[in-house]
Amino acid sequence: MKQLYYDVKKCLGCKSCEIACAVAHSLTGELFKALAEEKKSLPRKKVLAAGGKNYPVSCRHCEDPKCVDACMSACLTYDSEKGIVQHDESRCVGCWMCVMVCPYGAIRPNLKTKIPIRCDKCKDKDEPACVKACPTGAIIWQEEVLVEK
């Protein structure tokens, strides 16, 4: 299954990925119309700086996801075939348990919609919007690689 990797040497911190993510998850899918939407679409990825480098942070779809264990409404499930944490928003009550336990701080609460925002790997599209939007190729979308632990 494909995962998102980041070549941080290339990341300029321009936040094009954040904007592309918010637009891709808006109702209209277009930047200027998205800005006018009543419930503004928020980016599911955040670029944070540390030690002079920039790090895009978003859900890693962990294989043993703590968020799924903590979810009290069973709106989160792990789909092992697709390698993705699925979020059934219709069951979600906005209890923020997933936010509280995510070891990467990759899930953020949207207080307006009472739904947590998290990367869904743009599951309906061939490639995540952030990958397309990155001007330097810092975001890599490829089959999972095993790194020695």
Partner 1 sequence: MVKQFIIIGNSAAGIAAVEAIRKRDKASKITVISDEEYSAYCRCLITAYLSGEIKEEQVFFRPQDFYKANNIELLLNKKVARVDPKKNRIVLEDKAQLGYDALMIATGARPKFPELKGIKRTGVFGFRTLKDAQNISGLLPVTKTVCVLGGGLIGLKAAYALKKRNIDVKVIIKSRQVLSQLLDSEAAGFVQQRLESHGIEVLLGQDAAEIIGEGDIKAVKLDSGKAIGCSMVIVGKGVSPNIELIKETQVQSNEGIIANNLLQTSVPNIFTGGDSCESFDITLGEHTINALWPVAVEQGKIAGANMAGDSLNYEGSVGMNSVEFFGLPIVSLGIYKIKEGNAAVEELKLNDAKRNLYKKLILENNILVGAILVGDIKNSGVFLRLIRERVDVSPFKSELLGENFGYPTIKDFVKTKERFYV
Positions touching partner 1 (CB under 8 A) are 3-8, 46, 48-51, 53, 55, 57, 60, 66, 69-70, 72-74, 91, 93-97, 99-109, 111, 114, 140, 145, 147, 149
CA dist 115 and 132 (Å) reads 26
Give the nearer residue to partner 1 in terms of CB position, either 25 or 46. 46
Smallest distance from the beta carbon of 32 to partner 1, in angstroms? 27
Q: List, in order, residues 6 or more apart from 52 with CB less than 8 Å away.
A: none
Give the nearer residue to partner 1 in terms of CB position, either 28 or 73. 73
Smallest distance from the beta carbon of 20 to partner 1, in angstroms? 19
Give the nearer residue to partner 1 in terms of CB position, either 20 or 117. 117
User: Which residue, among 45, 72, 37, 40, has the nearest Cα to 129 in the 3D structure?
Assistant: 45
Smallest distance from the beta carbon of 133 to partner 1, in angstroms? 18
CA dist 76 and 92 (Å) reads 8
CA dist 96 and 122 (Å) reads 22
Give the nearer residue to partner 1 in terms of CB position, either 30 or 127. 127
Give kind and range of the element (H or E) at residue 70.
helix 66-70
Instruction: Provide the residue type at 130 as one letter.
Output: C
Smallest distance from the beta carbon of 31 to partner 1, in angstroms? 24
